[in-house]
Structure formats: structure tokens, C-alpha cells
Amino acid sequence: MSLHVSVRITPVQPAPENRLPAGRKFGYLLHDYELYGLSRPSRNRAPRSAQGLPETVKALDPVFMPLTRAWQKYWVDLFSLSRFDRLYDGLDSAEKSMINRAFKSVTKGNRAFTNRRGWDNGFADYINGVNVDAPPMEQETINCGGNVVELLSDIVRIGGKDAYQVATLDGNQPPPDPREVNHETTPWLVFKAVISRREGFDPRTGKWAREDLAIPFDQLQGHDVPIPFMGGGTSNYIEAERVRVLPDASPVPETYRR
């Protein structure tokens, strides 16, 4: 049985001073180190060479939604706004090439968000003209630690777990206007891609000096890599233990920690 509930999402500009809109309920997605005291690589028992891994937070009922031509264009518009403060169609050829490379890197099937349904798995990347006769790449309902979500319920019991209903972008519909719905105007619908990182391994103790680093994906040369929080409807659920409820009209949380 699907967990999706139809909820009308109205894009709203954050309040002045980069605060979340008053009168609505938002939550902060805890980083791995905040919840478990370990980085994602350590939690996954990754080899020592893996100092960082994507810090993904899956919805309780994740679905793979097709990245149609329109949704892929929305992705690169978000990338372009973040890196150049212009939409993709307004970039010059060198700028477009940079965004194309970033898009190809982020949508690789082992990165995080396409999860074995990327262009390198045989699916279509329309931006770079790869596998264009195949079905489109697909994006899973995934967020990242350190980001903010809009809470549409109090804690409910879903599949034996305590969870909050959270707002998502409906992948069954055309994408919104990227100038209105992006990681700065609606960070609860477009999140920042985050790497959980560790540093300073001590072979004498077998421990790392730091497990608490959360850094941005690097495909946009030091600028945020924004990802639509997309699902099969306008809501899904995230485990309550991963969420810290924020005060009304609180500042948008800092996503990264270096």
C-alpha cells in the first residue's frame, strides 16, 4: 500500500534574514555524527581509503521517479542558478559544459540519488545526449543530513516505525519554476547534496581523529549542489529519530560542518 498522501505545496519565500516561514512546522535532518557519533563511512565499515560517502537519508517509502527531459532540465537549471546565478539556457558554451559535467557526475548510478539507475546503467541522460533512446534515468526519494524538511504531521506510526510526514516534490507532475523553487527559496523541497567525511586515522588506536565532518558535493566548484526532494506524490515519511523539530520561524540551519 502506498504511503503517499496528496498535499498541496505552495512555494513560499523564506522570511527575511534567511528564516523559515512562520506558522509552518519544519525539521532538521540530523547528520550521522549527530545521531550515531560516527561518520557514514565508519557506520558502513568502509575501507580506510573511503574518507567520505554521500550522507543520504531515505524516505520510509522511497520510490524511483523518471527523470524526464523536463525534470533533467530542472536539475541543470538548479545547478546553473547555484553556480552562475542564471538559468541553463542563459549560459555560454563553456558554462554549459561545466554544468553538463557536473550533472553527469552527480547522476552516475553509484553516486547516491539515481542509485543504479543512472546514465552509466543504461538510462537516458538527455543533457549530455547519452542513451537517449532508452528510458530516462530515475531518482529515488532521498534527502541528505543537515538539510531541512517541512513537517506535515506530528509523529505517526508507519510500518512499525515512528515517523514524520514530510513534503516532497511530486515527480508525477511537471517540475516547478526553478526561479521560485530552489535550494535558497524552498530548502525543504530542494536540498543540498552532502558528504559525510572522516579524517585523521590513527593506526595505533584504529580510530579517526574526526568523524564529524559534513562537506558539500564538489561538482559545482565550491557552490552548493542542489537536488530536488522528489517522490511519487507531495509527501512521504522520514523516521522521527532522524528529525529535530525546529522552533517557529527559525533560521535555515547550516548544512555543512568542516
What confidence tens digit (pLDDT) does each residue in 53-90 have?
A: 999 999 999 999 999 999 999 999 999 999 999 999 99
Q: What is d(CA 140, CA 117) in angstroms, rounded to the nearest whole number? A: 9
Return the C-alpha cell found at 113: 540519488
pLDDT at 144 over 90: yes
pLDDT grade, residue 6 (50/70/90)?
A: very low
Task: Scan for cell 546565478, then name that residue.
Answer: 85
Q: What is d(CA 35, CA 32) in angstroms, rounded to the nearest whole number? A: 5
pLDDT at 44 over 50: yes
Would you state the pLDDT for residue 8? 43
What confidence tens digit (pLDDT) does each residue in 206-255 have?
A: 999 999 999 999 999 999 999 999 999 999 999 999 999 999 999 999 99
The type of residue at 252 is V
Q: What is d(CA 238, CA 86) in angstroms, rounded to the nearest whole number? A: 33
pLDDT grade, residue 258 (50/70/90)?
A: confident
What confidence tens digit (pLDDT) does each residue in 161-206 have?
A: 999 999 999 999 999 999 999 999 999 999 999 999 999 999 999 9
Would you state the pLDDT for residue 103? 98
Within 10 Å of residue 49's Cβ, how many Cβ atoms?
Answer: 6
pLDDT grade, residue 15 (50/70/90)?
A: low
Return the C-alpha cell found at 204: 595505533
34 CB burial (10 A radius; 0-12, 13-18, 19+):
middle
pLDDT grade, residue 16 (50/70/90)?
A: low
What is the average per-residue pLDDT within 4-27? 70
Would you state the pLDDT for residue 123? 98
Q: What is d(CA 216, CA 156) in angstroms, rounded to the nearest whole number? A: 32
pLDDT grade, residue 17 (50/70/90)?
A: confident
DSSP for 163-175, written as a single string: EEEEE-EETTS--
* pTM over cut 0.85: yes
End-to-end CA distance of the chain: 41
pLDDT grade, residue 1 (50/70/90)?
A: very low
Within 10 Å of residue 147's Cβ, how many Cβ atoms?
Answer: 25
> Among candidates 182, 106, 100, 168, which has minimal Cα distance to 137?
106
pLDDT at 14 over 60: yes
Q: How far is CA 55 from the centre of its chain?
A: 9
